Structures are given as structure tokens and as C-alpha cells.
């Protein structure tokens, strides 16, 4: 097997960095959702997340002359939006019921499904290291979260379903990459999501506390930025090559928990973090490249 070219390695590295940044931003989004969940309905939080993301994105696109309403693959925009919205409802609901770290664990099972969906739908090559890295990453996540069987509830199944739908949504991005720009993919997702989620939000409406408006606005800021970073990452590199790096959101989640709420970090979390990093390096082929360079000729 030949080593990846410098150009390919640079693309994978860039896609990886963009995905890492998106996971950090999405962790901030999760923290905001958890902060708001006791005071507002799940439908309201999902709606404001999409509405403010759309209002933030529109001026950005208009200023750069990139707002084009024509889409070559409108049906895939609807597919990405519906799967993404459903996943979002499930994820936000779980954040209001379960601890942040455990919800993050459930969400980070998505990278295991990404190369499988990409293989059957897009015809991407499925390498053994994708499965290997997925299992390593999941083991690392389990060490970080340490789920207790005695605390199991059906909500965990909802979280797992949300992760599967999120994986499909991410692969849909790759399906549109040949004709749709990252800006338009994010724009159509925000537009369609805002329209669809408006009705449930107004049906289950709770009065807004003035001091919570900055946090509600923050939902849109983190969502728009995270979506742009994630979309660009998956347009640059095949999902199976960089998907395992999504596991780092678990590390970010526990870091946020300690910094914001002084939640203790178990020693096993450090071992789990190491496995998560190994999983990412394995999926991208960087670990294999290092091994071949260090191995005597």
C-alpha cells in the first residue's frame, strides 16, 4: 500500500482541523442548551437555534454575494434538513434529561455509522481501519463517560437514534459537495429548519426571560459557526477519513463541565482521551504514516 501524497495529506489535515474546531463550537452549543433547558420547551430551543443561525448567516452571505436561491440538489437539502432536525430534537431533549458527558457519548457514536452509510450510499471505500478506529474511539468515550447499567433509561435509545440520523445528515453533505457550496448547504439547512420548527415552538411556547436573550442568541452564533466549519470539513475530506475526530467533543464536553461548573474529571477520562486521539489518528491514516516512516527500511 502506497503512502498518501503530500497533497492528499494536506487536505485530510485541513479537514481534520476544521472538524475539530466545529466540535469545540458545538460543545459550547450543548452547554447553552443545557443551561436553557429547565426554562424553555425543547421545541423553543430548537427553533431559536435555527432562527438566529439563519439571521446571522443571511448578512454574511449577502455581504459576500454568495446568497443564491437556486439549488441543483434541492431534494438532498430537504433530506439533510429533515434528518438533521430530527437528530437535533432528540439531542436537545437528551441534554435536558441526561448529563452532558453521557449525551455527548451517545452523539459520538455517529462516526461509527458515517463510513458505513458512505459505503452503501456513496460507494466510498471501506477500509478496515475505519471500523478499528471507530471501536477504539467508542472504547475511549466509554472510559470517559463510564456509563452505569443501573442508570439506563429509554432516553439513551433516543440519543443513539439521534446519532444515527446525524451520521446520515453528515454523509448527505458529501453527496451534495460536487454542486453545492458550503455556504448554500448551511443556508438551506437553516432556512428549512426554521420554517419546519416554527409551528411546534409556538404551540409549546414559554415566556422569554430578558436575561436569557444573550444565551438564545448564542445558540444561533455557535450553530452557524459550527455548521460552516463542519460542512467545509466534510466537503474537503471523505467522511470515513475524518469522522472519528468527532469523538474529541467528549473531551471538550468534560473540559467545559470542569471550567464552568467545576465538575470533577475521573482519572479514567485521561485514558479515554488518549484512545480518542489514537482513533482519530488511525482513521485519518496519520498513525499508519508515522509507523511506516519510523520503521526501518
Give the pLDDT of residue 224.
83
Q: Which pLDDT band, with edges at 50, 70 and 90, does 274 fall under?
A: confident
Residues of the chain with pLDDT > 70: what percent? 86
pLDDT tens sequence across 109-121: 777 778 788 888 8
Which among 10, 11, 25 has a CA at the least distance from the CA of 248? 25
**Average pLDDT for 229-234:** 84
pLDDT greater at residue 294 or residue 297? 294
Looking at residue 264, what DSSP letter applies? -
Instruction: Report which secondary-structure segment, H or E, holds 88.
Output: helix 74-97
Q: Which three three-digit cell numbers place residue 264?
A: 470533577
Check whether 292 has a pLDDT greater than 60. yes
Check whether 2 has a pLDDT greater than 70. no
Q: Which pLDDT band, with edges at 50, 70 and 90, does 278 fall under?
A: confident
Give the pLDDT of residue 201.
95
Cβ proximity of 163 and 48 under 8 Å = no
**Average pLDDT for 187-196:** 88
Give the pLDDT of residue 284.
65
Check whether 1 has a pLDDT greater than 50. no
Cβ proximity of 170 and 9 under 8 Å = no
DSSP 56-76: HHHHHHHHTT------TTHHH
Give the pLDDT of residue 159.
86
Check whether 223 has a pLDDT greater than 90. no
Looking at residue 181, what DSSP letter applies? -
Instruction: Report which secondary-structure segment, H or E, holds 97.
Output: helix 74-97
Give the pLDDT of residue 42.
94
**Average pLDDT for 199-227:** 93
Which among 51, 23, 42 has a CA at the least distance from the CA of 107? 23
This prediction has a pTM of 0.77
CA angle 25/29/33 to nearest 5° reads 170
CA angle 185/54/257 to nearest 5° reads 95
**Average pLDDT for 187-201:** 90
Cβ proximity of 17 and 211 under 8 Å = no
Amino acid at each position: 500500500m502506497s503512502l498518501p501524497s503530500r497533497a492528499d495529506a494536506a487536505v485530510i489535515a485541513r479537514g481534520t482541523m476544521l472538524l475539530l474546531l466545529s466540535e469545540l463550537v458545538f460543545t459550547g452549543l450543548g452547554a447553552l442548551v443545557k443551561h436553557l433547558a429547565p426554562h424553555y420547551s425543547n421545541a423553543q430551543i430548537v427553533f431559536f437555534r435555527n432562527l438566529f443561525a439563519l439571521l446571522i448567516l443571511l448578512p454574511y452571505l449577502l455581504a459576500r454575494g454568495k446568497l443564491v436561491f437556486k439549488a441543483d440538489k434541492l431534494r438532498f437539502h430537504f433530506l439533510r434538513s429533515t434528518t438533521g432536525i430530527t437528530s437535533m430534537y432528540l439531542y436537545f431533549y437528551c441534554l435536558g434529561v441526561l448529563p452532558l458527558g453521557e449525551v455527548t457519548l451517545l452523539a459520538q457514536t455517529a462516526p461509527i455509522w458515517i463510513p458505513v452509510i458512505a459505503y452503501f450510499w456513496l460507494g466510498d471505500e471501506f477500509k478496515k481501519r475505519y471500523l478499528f478506529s471507530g471501536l477504539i474511539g467508542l472504547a475511549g468515550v466509554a472510559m470517559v463517560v463510564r456509563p452505569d447499567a443501573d442508570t439506563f433509561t429509554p432516553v439513551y435509545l433516543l440519543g443513539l437514534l439521534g446519532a444515527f440520523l446525524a451520521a446520515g445528515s453528515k454523509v448527505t453533505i458529501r453527496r451534495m459537495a460536487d454542486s453545492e457550496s458550503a455556504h448554500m448547504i448551511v443556508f438551506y439547512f437553516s432556512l428549512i429548519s426554521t420554517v419546519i420548527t416554527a409551528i411546534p415552538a409556538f404551540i409549546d411556547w414559554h415566556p422569554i426571560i430578558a436575561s436569557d436573550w444573550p444565551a438564545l442568541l448564542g445558540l444561533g452564533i455557535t450553530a452557524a459557526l459550527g455548521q460552516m466549519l463542519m460542512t467545509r470539513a466534510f466537503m474537503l475530506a471523505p467522511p470515513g477519513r475524518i469522522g472519528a475526530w468527532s469523538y474529541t467533543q467528549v473531551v471538550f464536553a468534560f473540559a467545559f463541565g470542569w471550567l464552568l461548573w467545576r465538575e470533577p474529571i475521573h482519572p479514567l477520562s485521561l485514558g479515554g482521551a488518549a484512545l480518542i486521539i489514537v482513533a482519530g489518528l488511525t482513521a485519518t491514516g496519520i498513525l499508519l504514516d508515522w509507523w511506516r516512516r519510523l520503521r526501518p527500511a
